């Protein structure tokens, strides 16, 4: 409790010396409220020092009481610019930027703003994404002589970058008279604000070349800069660039943060480069990074997506204080590896620990049922989510249920589920119905689904490809030609099949019929050997998988033999030591013939082959696959 000076002594003391120790030293909320009450009771509130100090105390981040701050502001009879700046900053920092901008509008009728007011209100515009208001304030700053102020310029660069006006941001940035002054002023706050704002703006707009160019122009890089570059590349799918940037960061002596590691682990997952992932895991262990939070989740996801579910389980078991995110990551991982029973057992184990499942973990559970064809279980868990845990299904949950039904061939039920959903289906759900129709040869339902996709998202290239493949599989070549003509007129192009293998830290990529690899001669020699060995065990190519208008059976067989995953397998057999799994990542769904061939090759060569296609993982070993021929 504060020991307050009696009113008569304060009154006597006040006119001669404004250095009131009580007002200057107090910091706890209770103390400030006592002083506030005392100032009202003793009629000293309107003294400029007292009112200003109370406003500053209530606006201080340690107390941060916006309601009391505003009540103080409204009671001040003669407001100075300092009062206005304090309350506007309080509103912006408390995420009430709109109210801060409204107050700024009132302020300009009494005072000209200064280089404290302007950056604060520009920051509010950035948070709200209101670029037109930001431009008006920029114009005012130029008019009243603050256009060249480094703090105003820095806030403008940040605002324009966040609002997507990257050209305006660069114009302000280039107009900074002395970027070294801006640099070192920014370093006081721990990061290079203007430089990082520009890089962030370029990253968000997809202009990675300009971001990289500016990155190399910087006289020094801070952790924020590295994180912006790595996260930007990762979010844009430029996973290799993200990984390269991370190792460059380490080489130059910067220590990554949790955010850095989360981004680079996600990039490693996208590339499925297990060697890099293991190195980063080792780095984390040596440098004392705890796995109890999101880093543990990211590490589990990385191992699962790189095809090493055993390591994912090892990381999961090593986490002492498991959170729902950790359980979700391992359940999803087990699901995409076809280990549905293990995934569902872990879900029940989690529930027994007292952790309450959330909406996200049910997506993982439903996906596990999907990959194993557990239709009844899928229905049961969907009902459990709604009835037992009172979780309202989202589009993602309905998407999982529809996909479960479609993969199992329950297309009418899937169609009825979509039509009776309480929310509008998106293109993903309609694509599931189209994919199921293509796999099960239901032309009428497939055409219905394709029409819905085109209505919702006409730019979806996969829709036209699935529709064309569905017609081709049924020998309806006129309709195939019609669909392909539509694609040509709309500028759509099918992505070629691409498979990649990591070997000694390098990612080797192959497309259909690829002859660009340095080991092309050896690869095709190995493929000829594979062909002969397959014939010896009685393999007959499934030419129904050729979805091109080719008449001769030999030509169709040749088409199948050049699929990208077969080139990747041949490379793996040549280069990957026996006893080490050959890990392949493919951008498209594995066709039936390649699936059969890979099963046979795993037995012929006594090799484990792990293939990640765009649906799931396939673990081929001793002539069988973990998917049990269900994918």
So what's the pLDDT on residue 299?
97
Distance (Å, whole) CA 263 – CA 473: 41
Closest CA to 121 of 90, 145, 144: 90
495-534 pLDDT tens trace: 888 999 989 888 899 998 899 999 999 999 999 999 999 9
So what's the pLDDT on residue 549?
60
Task: Give 284 or 93, the one with higher predicted confidence.
Answer: 284
Cα angle, residue 374 at apex, residues 370 and 375 outer, rounded to 5° = 90
408 CB-side CA count, 13 A: 21
Q: By three-state DSSP, how is residue 77 classified?
A: coil
pLDDT band at residue 610 using 50, 70 and 90 as cut-offs: very high
pLDDT band at residue 48 using 50, 70 and 90 as cut-offs: low
The chain-wide mean pLDDT, for the chain, equals 87
Q: By three-state DSSP, how is residue 619 classified?
A: strand
So what's the pLDDT on residue 16?
36
536-571 pLDDT tens trace: 999 998 877 776 666 667 877 878 888 999 999 999
Distance (Å, whole) CA 288 – CA 295: 12
- Could you tell me which residues are beta bridge partners of residue 125? none
- Could you tell me which residues are beta bridge partners of residue 500? 509, 585
Distance (Å, whole) CA 437 – CA 562: 27
Question: How many angstroms from the chain centroid is the CA of residue 419?
Answer: 30
Residue 538, number of CB atoms within 10 A of its CB: 7
Parallel/antiparallel/unpaired status of strands 582-586 and 609-612: parallel
Is the distance from CB of 216 to CB of 248 less than 8 angstroms? no
So what's the pLDDT on residue 190?
38
In the chain, what are the domains? Answer: 79-175 (1.25.40), 223-321 (no CATH), 414-494 (1.25.40), 498-625 (no CATH)
So what's the pLDDT on residue 8?
41
234-292 pLDDT tens trace: 887 889 989 999 999 999 888 899 989 999 999 999 888 899 999 999 999 999 999 88
Give CA separation, 556 vs 330, 479, 527, 546, 553, in Å. 41, 20, 16, 6, 5
Give CA separation, 427 vs 381, 412, 449, in Å. 24, 18, 9
Percent of the chain with pLDDT over 90: 57
So what's the pLDDT on residue 19?
42
Distance (Å, whole) CA 539 – CA 532: 10
Please enumerate in sequence order all residues whose Cβ is within 8 A of that of 363, keeping only pairs 6 or more positions apart, or say none: 332, 396, 397, 400
């Amino acid at each position: 409790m504060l020991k307050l000076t009696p009113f008569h002594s304060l009154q006597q003391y006040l006119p001669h010396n404004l250095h009131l120790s009580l007002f200057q030293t107090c910091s706890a909320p209770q103390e400030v409220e006592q002083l506030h009450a005392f100032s009202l009771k003793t009629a000293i509130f309107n003294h400029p020092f007292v009112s200003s100090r109370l406003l500053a105390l209530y606006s201080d981040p340690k107390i941060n009481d916006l309601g009391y701050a505003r009540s103080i502001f409204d009671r001040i009879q003669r407001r100075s610019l300092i009062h206005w700046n304090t309350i506007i900053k309080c509103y912006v920092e408390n995420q009430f930027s709109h109210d801060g901008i409204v107050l700024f509008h009132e302020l300009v009728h009494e005072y000209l703003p200064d280089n404290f007011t302007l950056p604060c209100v520009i920051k509010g515009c950035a948070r709200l994404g209101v670029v037109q208001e930001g431009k008006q304030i920029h114009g005012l700053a130029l008019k009243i002589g603050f256009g060249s102020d480094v703090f105003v310029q820095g806030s403008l660069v940040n605002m324009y970058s966040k609002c997507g006006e990257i050209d305006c941001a660069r114009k302000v940035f280039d107009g900074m008279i002395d970027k070294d002054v801006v640099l070192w002023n920014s370093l006081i706050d721990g990061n290079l604000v203007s430089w990082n704002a520009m890089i962030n703006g370029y990253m968000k707009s997809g202009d990675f070349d300009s971001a990289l160019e500016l990155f190399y122009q910087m006289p020094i890089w801070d952790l924020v800069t590295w994180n912006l570059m790595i996260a930007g590349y990762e979010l844009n799918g430029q996973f290799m660039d993200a990984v390269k940037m991370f190792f460059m960061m380490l080489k130059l002596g910067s220590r990554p943060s949790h955010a850095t590691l989360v981004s680079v682990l996600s990039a490693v997952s996208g590339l499925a480069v297990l060697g890099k992932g293991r190195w980063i895991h080792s780095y984390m262990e040596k440098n004392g990074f705890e796995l109890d939070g999101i880093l543990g989740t990211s590490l589990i996801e990385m191992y699962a997506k790189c095809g090493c579910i055993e390591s994912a389980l090892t990381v999961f078991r090593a986490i002492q204080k498991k959170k729902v995110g950790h359980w979700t990551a391992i359940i999803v991982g087990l699901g995409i590896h076809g280990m549905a029973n293990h995934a569902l057992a872990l879900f029940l184990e989690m529930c027994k620990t007292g952790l309450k499942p959330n909406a996200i973990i049910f997506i993982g559970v439903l996906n596990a049922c999907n990959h194993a064809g557990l239709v009844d279980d899928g229905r049961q868990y969907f009902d459990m989510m709604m009835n037992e845990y009172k979780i309202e299904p989202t589009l993602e949950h309905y998407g999982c249920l529809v996909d479960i039904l479609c993969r199992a061939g329950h297309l009418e039920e899937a169609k009825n589920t979509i039509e009776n959903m309480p929310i509008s289906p998106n293109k993903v759900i309609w694509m599931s119905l189209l994919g199921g129709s293509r796999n099960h040869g239901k032309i009428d339902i497939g055409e219905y689904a394709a029409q819905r996709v085109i209505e919702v998202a006409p730019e979806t290239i996969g829709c036209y490809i699935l529709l064309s493949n569905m017609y081709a599989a049924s020998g309806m070549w006129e309709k195939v030609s019609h669909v392909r003509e539509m694609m040509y007129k709309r500028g759509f192009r099918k992505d070629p099949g691409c498979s990649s293998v990591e070997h000694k830290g390098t990612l080797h990529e192959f497309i259909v019929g690829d002859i660009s690899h340095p080991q092309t001669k050896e690869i095709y020699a190995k493929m000829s050997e594979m062909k002969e060995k397959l014939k010896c065990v009685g393999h007959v190519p499934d030419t129904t998988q050729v979805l091109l208008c080719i008449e001769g059976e030999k030509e169709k067989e040749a088409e199948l033999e050049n699929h990208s995953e077969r080139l990747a397998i041949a490379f793996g057999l040549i280069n990957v030591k026996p006893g080490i799994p050959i890990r392949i990542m493919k951008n498209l769904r594995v066709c039936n013939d390649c699936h059969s061939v890979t099963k046979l090759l795993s037995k012929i060569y006594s090799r484990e082959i792990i293939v990640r296609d765009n649906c799931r993982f396939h673990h081929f070993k001793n002539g069988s696959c973990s998917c049990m021929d269900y994918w």
